[in-house]
Amino acid sequence: MRNLLFTLAYDGSGYHGWQIQENAPTVQEAFQKALYQATGLREDLKACSRTDTGVHAREFCVSLKTESLIPPQRLAAALNHYLPPDIAVKSCRPVPEDFHARYSCKGKEYCYEIWNHPVRDPFLQSRALHYWYPLDETLLDRAAQAYMGRHDFASFCTLDKRERGDLCRTVSAARVERRGDLVVFTVAADGFLYNMVRIMAGTLLYVQQGKLAPEELPAVLAARNRRAAGPTAPACGLYLNRVFY
């Protein structure tokens, strides 16, 4: 029995997130199908997180314990043969027996990308939020600094049927930068709540629109009330960028 770590990249626009659902295509379903075609085994996968419908990943990690004897490089190549074009295995390597893609994770980095131009880019359809009004990336970067440090992010979380639990997270990086007509919000933390990054991005857009001042964001955090923050930005602009172990 070997424990293997797979690093995936995928365009999530055609999927209802990572986790298997009834009557909806998911990335996990596609990966498990390819794995069965390559090995003939139905494995129990451990994923680094769940991504929602329409969310993308440049680095998504999956671990599994398998009896397959196929060498890691050959197994990665076999999976890429069977996977659809919008999902790819970037690497596969052995890891210690006690490694778990989710519980061994020390943190993650997400990017939220905004196409900031009066005219939409057809090649970024479903891959970036089109925001045609001017964006002041310097203002937004200043506002994003309020996210830094350890806070209760209840104001930046969509509560669902999952147990509420501890809503405190430590943000180690938060910045907004412009790359031509693309404005990118990057945030890294030891963990993220449901819709947290999308609400952070939507709140920054509220700052741009003058509905909040950068100096008001600490009060939004302190409120611990979802209604104090801005809207949830669309899923199309969100990327899981890096996973830290």
Is the domain of 71 the same as that of 129?
no
Confidence tier at 161 by pLDDT (50, 70, 90): low
Is the domain of 46 the same as that of 145?
no
**8 Å CB contact between 160 and 194:** yes
Place of tokens 């494995």: 43
Q: How would you classify the pairing of strands 2-10 and 87-94?
A: antiparallel
**8 Å CB contact between 196 and 127:** no
Q: From the candidates 52, 86, 181, 190, give the one annotated as an active-site residue.
A: 52
Q: pTM for the complete prediction?
A: 0.94
**8 Å CB contact between 231 and 158:** no
Is the domain of 143 the same as that of 216?
yes
Is the domain of 61 the same as that of 19?
yes
- The average confidence (pLDDT) of the chain is 96
**Is 52 a known active-site residue?**
yes
Tens digit of each residue's pLDDT (9 = 90 or more) over 54-90? 999 999 999 999 999 999 999 999 999 999 999 999 9
Q: In this structure, is residue 102 part of a structural domain?
A: no
What is the domain range of residue 60? Answer: 2-94
Is the domain of 205 the same as that of 118?
yes
Is the domain of 119 the same as that of 84?
no
The whole-number pLDDT of residue 165 equals 79
- CATH assignment at residue 114: 3.30.70.660
pLDDT at 162 over 60: no
Q: In this structure, is residue 155 part of a structural domain?
A: yes
Residues 34, 101, 129, 180, CA torsion sign: negative
- CATH assignment at residue 85: 3.30.70.580
The whole-number pLDDT of residue 159 equals 79
Domain count, the chain: 2
Tens digit of each residue's pLDDT (9 = 90 or more) over 101-135? 999 999 999 999 999 999 999 999 999 999 999 99
pLDDT at 154 over 70: yes
Of 1, 86, 99, residue with least CA distance to 48: 99
Is the domain of 47 the same as that of 133?
no
